[in-house]
Structure 1
Amino acid sequence: MLTQLFLASAFTALESYLLGSLLFGVLISKLVYHDDVRLHGSGNAGMTNVLRTYGKAAAVFTTVGDVGKSFLAVQIGRMIFDALVGSAGTDFQPMIQPICGAYLAAIFCTLGHSRPVFFGFRGGKGVLVGAGAALATEPMVCLMLILVFLVEFAVTRIVSLGSIIIAGLYPIVTLCYWVWRGIDLPSLVFITVCCVMMGIYVIWLHRSNIQRLRSGTEYRFGEKKKTGR
């Protein structure tokens, strides 16, 4: 039983990390613009830097790609856990649900996105990856977080602040969601730990943004691009 859980975790971690390492911002900048988005602006491979560097069309394709790879990684993780852990027998199955594989996949997809093996371990900050994971696991939570982000963005025009806020809220809202759904305690603990780890990691990836927020120099959407942001 534990062997099956270990194998499910290993396969899920591998597939989600490799999918996460596909940086659509970098791929689009290289294939379409013969450039590398990481050489511009903030040096980030995420959607915001793509938007500021190449415009709306490139940003849309980056968004679809990064959300889509996370959605796919999470679904594959759930299927792997369902196939290996879910078949471990009726005595073991209630101890951990296949949905736990989805949350494990979300962590490693975020890790792959931020430290991509295919692109020199220089990637993005994982916000869209987290959005794709939330969309695949609990669309209601995803919708709530999007609404929070939109309200924050409408007030401040600062993308990074909204990203940090929803990263902090994600574990809390997810915990409330699964308590409401009545999931078993071991699975609830597993999911909560995964969400806390992912939230902390995304916030840590925004540490330079936090410094600029504290100094009042963080980029506001619509401002003229400045070197080093």
Structure 2
Amino acid sequence: MSTALITGASSGIGYELAIYHASTGGDLVVVARSESKLEALKTLVTTKFHVNCHVIPMDLTTENAGKIVMDEVHTHQLQIDYLINNAGVGFTQKFIEEDITTWQQMIQLNINAVTDLCYYFAKDLRANHRTGKILNVASTAAFQGIPFLSVYSATKAYVLTFSEALAEELKSSGITVTALCPGPTRSNFGASANLDERISNSRMLPTASSVAKFGYEKMLAGEVTAVHGLGNKIGVAATQFAGRKTAGKVAGQLFKMVKK
């Protein structure tokens, strides 16, 4: 069976991706800041699904974090078949009213760590004449610049366009790249993004497990861009019809209303 390296696996969509992969019989390498949460996940998947799970407690906002993670993989002679870049952070705030280190850390996590891990993973696969799959978690925010989410939407636009370009570059190598674009999801992201809990925990939102299953299946199918949910697909189409500037203004007003 295939081994998946999943970042941000301690909660939310990343946690559900780990559970779903393990349920198929696949082994895991899980990465997140919280070692205790990763160990709890390891206990669950090894007991319930009888798979192997290697824990790498790592803060991916650290410089060169991607290389450090892959060095750990090499040290333990782990063979990775699927790379799932799920770790990411968002924060709702006016750009100049937040400390610059917040935005720098967001860029490090949402862009630099994703880029580095894709680089070292794809390089390894090609050097060893192996095929594999990459799933990068972007967002429907990638399709327009969103006021109050300016840096977040910009980083997710990078993840989307980077994934699309990389998919074409790596096609002949047998390596597929998928950008998963979920909309608002019922998870702990809303709290960390400074959104009103009544919105972020609304039962009208899709669950993290449903988004994870959708993204995982699209990765297996080798689809390049995967927008989750009919409403989100319509929203993305409307953005393209109305234009990025208009869509960004509307989205900005919505996020202004749901901000704490």
Common fold by TM > 0.5: no
Q: Identify the structure with bigger relative contact order (alpha carbons < 8 Å, sequence gap 6+).
A: 1
TM-score (norm 1): 0.31
More strand by share: 2
Choose between structure 1 and 2: higher helix proportion.
1
- Give me the TM-score of the superposition, normalised by structure 2: 0.29
